[in-house]
Amino acid sequence: MQKLAAGNWKMNGSAAALAEVGALIAAHPAPACEMLLCPPATLLAQMTWAARGSKLMTGGQDCHTKASGAHTGDISAAMLKDAGASHVILGHSERRADHGESDALVKAKAEAALAAGLTAIVCLGETEAQRDAGETLALCGSQLNGSLPEGANAANLVVAYEPVWAIGTGRTPTLDQIAEVHGFLRAQLVKRLGEDGHGVRLLYGGSVKPSNAAEIFAVRDVDGALVGGASLKAADFGAIVAALSAA
């Protein structure tokens, strides 16, 4: 399986930040893993253009369930594809929290993404209160099963485990905790998708940085990372790409 280093720029970055893309591509022209950046929608077409001819893929951070229509401010999966995206992040905890996105909505969005020919990166993960209450696996299982699109397979689905309490905090789960959740998610995916479940990339996300990437990538069933803050700088994201390439 090809591993995947994915960066989520969230609501960060202006045209000037595209200089980081040039630096990343120059430093990592032929990584041994897949490399993806998901900028804000305003930069998607420009970033795709900046990445033309390189190994860097681009993606969106959200999409609507419909292909077009009267939905002011929204963006469809087909539009992301048209702007050059190959992937779209769906169900990120920030969207689940800020926009009240349910598992059913995430599933519908993921199905729209697959219909448009995009790979869906479905995110899930527990809050600190849920972990403290011993609900982590039950919660991750119900989010996975509720958000999994019909027609998912190893080529069009990526799952990102992002514990909410580890996002942007500098805190990470122990390697055993990551292994427990990823092993559980793998078993769930195989139960739902059969053989294909073995090939779905399982990303870890939450305070991944150059200094902890290698140890996280050595954990069984960790097939890459979804990186927030550290994806904004070419040097940091490049170091994470290098760690994944070496894993």
- Calpha distance 87→79 (Å, rounded): 12
3-state SS class at 244: helix
Active site residue 182: no
Site string (67-96) toward ligand 13P, x via CB under 6 A: -------------------------x----
Taking the least distance from each CB to ligand 13P, the nearer of 90 and 208 is 208
Site for ligand 13P in 147-176 (CB under 6 A): 162, 167-168
Binding of ligand 13P by 227 (CB under 6 A): yes
Active site residue 126: no
Binding of ligand 13P by 205 (CB under 6 A): yes
Binding of ligand 13P by 8 (CB under 6 A): yes
- Calpha distance 124→7 (Å, rounded): 16
Instruction: From 39-47, 50-58, 214-222, 228-236, give the range in contact with ligand 13P by CB under 6 A.
Output: 228-236
* Residue 160, both tokens: 């990102």
Q: Which among 64, 87, 92, 182 is annotated as catalytic?
A: 92
Sequence-ordered strand ranges (E) for 76-211: 87-90, 119-124, 157-161, 201-205
Whether the Cβ atoms of residue 58 and residue 37 lie closer than 8 Å to each other: yes
Among 60, 91, 228, 238, binds ligand 13P (CB under 6 A): 228
Whether the Cβ atoms of residue 212 and residue 169 lie closer than 8 Å to each other: no
Non-local CB neighbours of 121 within 8 Å, separated by 6+ positions: 6, 59, 87, 88, 89, 90, 158, 159, 160, 203, 226
Taking the least distance from each CB to ligand 13P, the nearer of 65 and 207 is 207
Rounded least distance, CB 6 to ligand 13P, Å? 8
Binding of ligand 13P by 241 (CB under 6 A): no
Binding of ligand 13P by 109 (CB under 6 A): no
What type of residue is 98? D
Count CB atoms within 10 A of the CB of residue 145: 13
Among 110, 140, 208, 239, binds ligand 13P (CB under 6 A): 208
Known catalytic residues are 92, 162
Binding site for ligand 13P (CB under 6 A): 8, 92, 162, 167-168, 205-208, 226-230
